[in-house]
Structure 1
Amino acid sequence: MSSIPEFSELLADTTKSAVHLELRDAYFTNPRFEAWQDGQRVDWDDRASWWRPFHQDIADAVARGVTVRRARIVSEPVTDYIAWEHYQTRANVEAGEQVRWLPRHRAWDLLLPGTDLWIFDGRLMRVHHFSGDGEWISKELCDGPAVVDQHAAAFERVWERATPHDRYDVK
């Protein structure tokens, strides 16, 4: 496909479910991660300081009846980046996402996709490609039913085994 819609457009067209599988222990750095490393913490009482358009997109989808789930497969002990993601996942949860964590050592017997992805309504998959150091490279869409079904099944196996966010300790 020559033109890939933005995430917000894909989510706006979703009517039932959006699932996100994350497989990396670190992604490209960003100012919020760097601030967290420097000891800065979110003022959760000041929603305007942390609520982003992404969170609003999720909240709007959930309000329309879309179930949004995110599963993260992580190495333990977790990287600083994953510890930060765990900390800031409160924003995802407040937006209405359900989030679970699966330690990589508990996923060894699962057949998993090679990269991060979103699946919308079980019919359209957005695949994310990263470099070895976590820099964003590209994205692509796949709507082949057999491929999307395989990836959706992989997500469900991860989801069943993973620990809900509020019960996962990053140690």
Structure 2
Amino acid sequence: MSQSLTDFSDLIRSVQESAVHLEMRDTYGVENEIEGFAAWKQGRRLDPEDRASWWRPWLDLVEEVTAKGVVIRRARIVSEPVSDYIAFEHSGTFTNVAAGEQIRWLPRRSASDLALPGNDFWLFDGRLVQFNVFDGVGRWVHTDQTEDPAVVELCASAFEAVWERAIPHEKYAV
């Protein structure tokens, strides 16, 4: 399934209670981050005082949705030492937190005994799972959605198991 940013924005705006996101890759090659990642590797860092320079429109959307009382949690399973890409993500995650996301990090070695789905996913209101499928170099390929109760339960329990073990962003150092 192909999904535009507008479609995803509409989906997340429809959430009533919660959206959880599990990320399990050590590198992503998504189009809208290539320039920022390259700049980060050259030493550019986001300025906590310059909110206008932060990643838009995602942060505006998070602020809008969390202002309605929706809880957005993101957990990232990462190898250690972390890849350059994960260090890049970590350095900018303060913006996600400022917008209203709760974010935790789980070292991969602490996830070995967890049953995890094969792809990153979003779980919306505990009823709809959206898998984000990436190719070997981290480029987004397509999206699959399901409301199958068994898949929803797998993803919900996997996310909660990761969340329980994971380290809050402000305590996780790279």
Rounded Cα–Cα distance in structure 2 between residues aligned with 1:132 and 1:2: 18
The alignment status of 1:7 with 2:33, answered yes or no, reads no
* Matched residue, 2:135: 131
Name the aligned partner's letter for residue 60 of structure 2: Q
Q: Return the offset for 1:83.
A: 0.4
The equivalences for 1:8-157 within 5 A come to 8-28=9-29, 30-157=34-161
Unaligned 5+ segments in structure 2 are none
In structure 2, relative to structure 1, the CA distance for the partners of 1:127 and 1:39 (3 Å cut) is: same
Q: Return the offset for 1:6.
A: 2.0
Rounded Cα–Cα distance in structure 2 between residues aligned with 1:37 and 1:108: 30
Whether contact under 8 Å (2:3, 2:143) holds in the other structure is no
Q: Deviations over 1:67-106 (max 9, x none)?
A: 0000000000000000010001011001100000000001
In structure 2, relative to structure 1, the CA distance for the partners of 1:3 and 1:43 (3 Å cut) is: closer
TM-score (norm 2): 0.93
Name the aligned partner's letter for residue 47 of structure 1: R
Name the aligned partner's letter for residue 157 of structure 2: A
CA RMSD of aligned residues (A): 1.5
In structure 2, relative to structure 1, the CA distance for the partners of 1:151 and 1:49 (3 Å cut) is: same
In structure 2, relative to structure 1, the CA distance for the partners of 1:8 and 1:146 (3 Å cut) is: same
TM-score (norm 1): 0.95
Question: Between the two proteins, what is the percent identity of the paired residues?
Answer: 55
Rounded Cα–Cα distance in structure 1 between residues aligned with 2:95 and 2:58: 10
In structure 2, relative to structure 1, the CA distance for the partners of 1:88 and 1:105 (3 Å cut) is: same
Name the aligned partner's letter for residue 23 of structure 2: E
Q: Return the offset for 1:51.
A: 4.1
Question: Structure 1 runs of 4+ off > 4 angstroms?
Answer: 1-5
Count of residues paired in the alignment: 170
The alignment status of 1:167 with 2:171, answered yes or no, reads yes
Unaligned 5+ segments in structure 1 are none
In structure 2, relative to structure 1, the CA distance for the partners of 1:101 and 1:2 (3 Å cut) is: closer
Q: Return the offset for 1:2.
A: 8.3
Q: Deviations over 1:41-64 (max 9, x none)?
A: 112211111141111111111110
Query: Which deviates more, 100-109 or 28-37?
Result: 28-37
2:114 aligned counterpart, secondary structure? coil
